[in-house]
Structure 1
Amino acid sequence: MSHINTHSEENRLREEISEIGRAFRQLGMAPGTSGNISAKCEGGWLMTPTNASLGALDPAEISMLDWDGNLLSGKPPTKESFLHRAFYESREEAGGVIHLHSTYASAVSCLRGLDERSCLPPITPYFVMRVGRLPLLPYFQPGDPAMGAAVREYAPDYSAVLLANHGPVVAGKTLEAARNAIEELEETARLFLLLKDQQINTLDESQIEGLRQQFGARW
């Protein structure tokens, strides 16, 4: 019975990854073959394949990997799988990880003068609660494994990072939580760019402390 349940859960996650990929494409958050999605499951983790459009994923072709990196089923995984593995190995509670080249967050990642401790200020309570501080990582060439090592340094303390001139990587306790967080991050990046030349009222420390106490926000 446990084997059947395990297989059923894996299939459910494959379908969920495909549905989320389609939603990101419809929202304009996953152009071309950019972005990748993963989820932890029994015996390993599921990862979107290399050169795959998130808007046209075949659930059966999604890569299944063990924790040694061996491909168990599906097509070969994205070359950026080490970004996801860094979060899984550093945050035991992580159940899903998403990396996108979404427009507004990627635009922020190209700006000069960002606060490297958190690229986005606490504009809204939802950003503070769902994402938290967003540290800026240096630029790495696409596919450079050093990106994974850089993410691993931050992952124990942060659930999201922004790769310079690239885009965000977000982990959540579940795949749905990661999805909600990265959509909130994208919306906050959009607000930040809209307000960039204005004086912004950000949440003060007492307001943030209230979110910590009532919602467990990490800021």
Structure 2
Amino acid sequence: MEPIMAENVFYFGGIPLAEYALPSSMKLVDNTVKFFDKYDAVLMANHGFVVASKTIDDAYMKLELAESYAQVVLNTEILGGAKILNQEDAKAILELR
């Protein structure tokens, strides 16, 4: 997902899209798990989000943030498209982490 909100850049750094595979399949696991060395949230194509965290409370917060971000992305697309943060701004936000 493109960086359009500073909060999501700060919390996630980015949210990659894992390629679709059948539910409960090892292919879905393989398509998703490879992103968790760098990211805390992954959007599984045609499934939804999965997040990783040290506590259940933090995982829940991340899931809520990811889902609200998806709603913002959808709404901005409906309204004509989002203004993407430039790389310089995204990098500066990541340095705050």
State the TM-score, normalizing by the size of structure 1: 0.41
Aligned counterpart, 2:49: 168
Q: Does 1:136 align with 2:36?
A: no
Q: Distance in 2 between matches of 1:130 and 1:207?
A: 15
1:200 aligns with 2:63: no
CA contact (8 A) 2:41 2:52 kept: yes
TM-score by length of 2: 0.84
Query: Of residues 79, 91, 94 in structure 2, which corresponds to 1:209?
Result: 91
CA–CA separation in structure 1 for the residues paired with 2:60 and 2:9: 15
Q: How much has 1:124 moved relative to structure 2?
A: 1.0
Determine the C-alpha separation between the residues in 2 that align with 1:133 and 1:212: 10
State the AA in 1 paired with 2:81.
Q
The structure where helix makes up a greater share of residues is 2
Equivalent AA in structure 1 for residue 72 of structure 2: L
Residue in structure 2 matched with residue 110 of structure 1 by the alignment: none
| 1:201, distance to aligned residue in structure 2 (A) | 1.7
- CA drift of 1:145 comes to 2.1
**Which one of the candidate residues 34, 37, 54 is aligned to 1:153?**
34
Residue type of the alignment partner of 1:125:
A
Higher percent of residues as strand: 1
Equivalent-residue separation in structure 1 for 2:33 and 2:72 (angstroms):
28
Aligned residues: 96
Which structure has the bigger radius of gyration? 1
- RMSD across aligned C-alpha pairs, in angstroms? 1.6
**1:9-49 CA distance string (max 9 Å, x none):** xxxxxxxxxxxxxxxxxxxxxxxxxxxxxxxxxxxxxxxxx
Listed as ranges, the gaps of 5+ residues in structure 2 are none
1:170 to partner: Cα distance: 0.7
Q: Is the 8 A contact 1:135 1:161 kept in 2?
A: yes
Q: In 1, distance between residues paired with 2:82 and 2:2? A: 9
The offset of 1:183, in angstroms, is 0.7
In structure 2, the residue matched to 1:126 is: 7
How much does 1:185 deviate?
0.8
Conservation of the 8 A alpha-carbon contact between 1:130 and 1:180:
no
Structure 2 vs 1, CA of residues 148 and 207 (structure 1 numbering), >3 Å: closer, same or farther?
A: same
Q: Larger relative CO (CA 8 A, sep 6+): 1 or 2? A: 2
Post-superposition shift, 1:205? 1.9
Letter in 1 for 2:36: A
